[in-house]
Structure 1
Amino acid sequence: MPTIATFVFFDIETTGLPWQEKNQTKITDFSFVAASRKILEATSYGQTPLVSKFTVVLNPERAIHPKVRTLTGLSNELLQHAPVFKRIVKSLIMFLEDLTRPVCLVAHNGNVFDFKILLAECHDAGVSLPEDLLCVDSLVGFRALLKNSSLTYKDFEDIQEISLESGKRSEETISDQDILTDDEDEWSDLNLTNEELDEIDDICSSVSEFEEPACKPVNTQRSKAIGNVFDKKTATNDFKLTSLYKRLLNKEEINAHRAEVDCLILAECVVAMKHDFLPWADDNCTMLTKIKPLVRY
């Protein structure tokens, strides 16, 4: 893969979880935070890189789950005059097209959540994002780079001092494991692998054509089947974004569940591990067009 020139940290807030909404999940808040590779490399440990931002709250035109309203503070009443996705997507495309190529979207748990929902919104709007966009899931990256490491923020401070003095840095043994987990403390239901999500998609698709609003037996069938998938989860939450932020930087998240804040937190985590994460992203990024969009039922 080519060396990435621009990293775009990406995050969304949504109306709920796809498998609770028959994949009708819509975006209520999204943020694209772009930083050049050179800026990330030059940013000191513990600092926020200089970025360009495209952040918008959206009217999802569907009910927001009560739990989401509590977590994000975003309600249908608050967003009733916000633009819909179709109105602003062309501006988003212009923002992305102006960035120096190659451009890579970086999202925590992006492979199974953020990227899929973004692509579904684009499909609904009848538009396509730039075809040359790359993407990488930072959750996969941090698991690969830190799974067998006991590094804490103090170690990263020491590494920074060594780098400044002699140009040398510590090398950690890494283990690549492509296991996806939730990046949200409260949404443990997101703690799923790609295979488990595909299984849920198949379950929902197979029963949706027979379902009527008052057809409780089918609803029970779906709930039981999805519950069986959840019972098979084995991944841990050690690599949630909030946990990484604490571990790598010894900082507490000050405003959870807002897209732009999470993007900036992710950017700081990447800066803390830039010598390892940036090359890992070069080697593991893929075309965004290869991600399967969320399929509406």
Structure 2
Amino acid sequence: MAKVESFVFFDLETTGLPWQEKNRTKIIEFSFVAALRKDLETALFGEIPPVRKLTFLLNPERPVDPVVTQMTGLSNDMLRHAPTFGQMLKKLVAFVEDLPPPVCLVAHNGNAFDFKILLAECKDINASLPAHLLCVDSLLGFRKLLKGTNINYKDLQNQIPTSSLDDLLTDDDDDWPDLNLSKEDWSEIDDICLSMSDISCEDFEQDEQEEKKIKINKTIQKKRSEAIKNVFSNNRTPKKVLSKKSTTIKNSNTVKDDYKLTTLYKRLLNKEEVNAHRAEADCLMLAQCVVALKYEFLPWADRNSKPLSEIKPLIRY
């Protein structure tokens, strides 16, 4: 399958839970946050890549559960003059069609919730989404990649291997001549990596900063992937991970198998949730989690994405 070129992080807020509403659940807030693959690949740990956003409130034309109002701050009174889903569908489709294909929706628990409700809304008005649109459930992805491991933000932000750098100079020399450097130069780049948190955009001209980010990102990508593969080995055997301080990632029960988005956000980025239960905020949290684990998540998404049309819509009753 071809690599996904555009990832659309997708989240929605609804009138309630389907099982409580006889599957008549409607969308009250909708958000698409799109990022190009190349921008996800070059984003540094903790960064939000350049994105395009489409976020809007919707009038569900049915009561909003009081619990939902308490969680989101969205009420029927607030949504009374908002457009309906059918009135916003053209904008939604135009947003997707304007992205470089293949385009893949990424939603946390999307297979069981977001995708099914989105398709049910389309079915309600006898409409459809672009046939080429792909989808992937990030909950399944993070569970597959992290289950049985102890990987967290400490490994992801500090893991700058100190093993031989010779193999870094063997690939892409024609495309990246500036990367064909001496070991001394690479050592200097390692030092820059360790001090990136202290670097301000004001310290460099924009072009120089982008060039340094590309160099640093290529270094971390190749060596980090080698080390982290040990943790993702099929037999789940604990391996040593090369880092600033030689760290052993243990296959232990110290990390609870909890893959809620807010838990992943804390585990992978050491950040507390911001405006959780608001659609756009959840999309941005998800995007940052993907950036943190991008060398594993993006290939997983390529292998596991499927046409959105294969998802069965929520059946109203």
- Normalising by the smaller structure, the TM-score range is 0.7 to 0.9
Q: Partner of 2:313 in structure 1?
A: 293
Alpha-carbon distance, 1:150 to partner: 0.3
Is residue 223 of structure 2 the alignment partner of residue 168 of structure 1? yes
Q: Partner of 2:263 in structure 1?
A: 243
- CA distance in 1: counterparts of 2:264 and 2:232, whole angstroms: 16
- CA distance in 1: counterparts of 2:125 and 2:14, whole angstroms: 17
Contact between 2:147 and 2:257, CA under 8 Å: does it hold in 1? no
Q: Deviation string for 1:171-196 (max 9, x for gaps)?
A: 243389xxxxxxxxxxxxxxxxxxxx
Q: Secondary structure at the match of 1:123?
A: helix
Contact between 1:107 and 1:136, CA under 8 Å: does it hold in 2? yes
Is residue 26 of structure 2 the alignment partner of residue 26 of structure 1? yes
Q: Partner of 2:146 in structure 1?
A: 146
Q: Deviation string for 1:92-124 (max 9, x for gaps)?
A: 101111110000000000000000000000111
- CA distance in 1: counterparts of 2:232 and 2:315, whole angstroms: 35
Residue 69 to residue 2, structure 1, CA distance change in 2 (3 Å): same
- CA distance in 2: counterparts of 1:288 and 1:278, whole angstroms: 18
Moved more, 29-38 or 150-159: 150-159
Alpha-carbon distance, 1:46 to partner: 0.3
Q: Map of 1:56-205 to 2, 5 A cutoff?
A: 56-159=56-159, 161=193, 164=217, 165=219, 167-169=222-224, 170-172=227-229, 173-174=231-232
Unmatched runs of 5 consecutive residues or more in structure 2:
161-192, 195-215, 235-255
- CA distance in 1: counterparts of 2:22 and 2:145, whole angstroms: 35
Q: Deviation string for 1:47-98 (max 9, x for gaps)?
A: 1111001101000000001111100000000000000000010111011111
- CA distance in 2: counterparts of 1:9 and 1:97, whole angstroms: 15
- CA distance in 2: counterparts of 1:67 and 1:4, whole angstroms: 37
TM-score by length of 1: 0.77
- CA distance in 2: counterparts of 1:296 and 1:175, whole angstroms: 43
Q: Secondary structure at the match of 2:77?
A: coil
- CA distance in 2: counterparts of 1:108 and 1:255, whole angstroms: 16
Contact between 2:7 and 2:34, CA under 8 Å: does it hold in 1? yes
TM-score by length of 2: 0.73
- CA distance in 2: counterparts of 1:265 and 1:171, whole angstroms: 22
The alignment of Structure 1 onto Structure 2 pairs a total of residues equal to 238
* RMSD of Structure 2 on Structure 1 (CA): 1.6
- The runs of at least 4 consecutive aligned structure 1 residues that moved more than 6 Å come to none
Q: Deviation string for 1:248-287 (max 9, x for gaps)?
A: 0000012111000000000000000000000000001111
Give, as a single letter, the amino acid of the residue that structure 2 aligns with 1:174. F
Is residue 289 of structure 2 the alignment partner of residue 269 of structure 1? yes
- CA distance in 2: counterparts of 1:247 and 1:71, whole angstroms: 23
Q: Partner of 1:284 in structure 2?
A: 304
- Flag the structure with larger Rg: 2
Contact between 2:14 and 2:28, CA under 8 Å: does it hold in 1? yes
Contact between 2:8 and 2:32, CA under 8 Å: does it hold in 1? yes
Alpha-carbon distance, 1:136 to partner: 0.2
Q: Partner of 2:280 in structure 1?
A: 260
- CA distance in 1: counterparts of 2:302 and 2:159, whole angstroms: 22
Give, as a single letter, the amino acid of the residue that structure 1 aligns with 2:58. L
Give, as a single letter, the amino acid of the residue that structure 1 aligns with 2:140. V
Give, as a single letter, the amino acid of the residue that structure 2 aligns with 1:250. N
Q: Partner of 1:185 in structure 2?
A: none
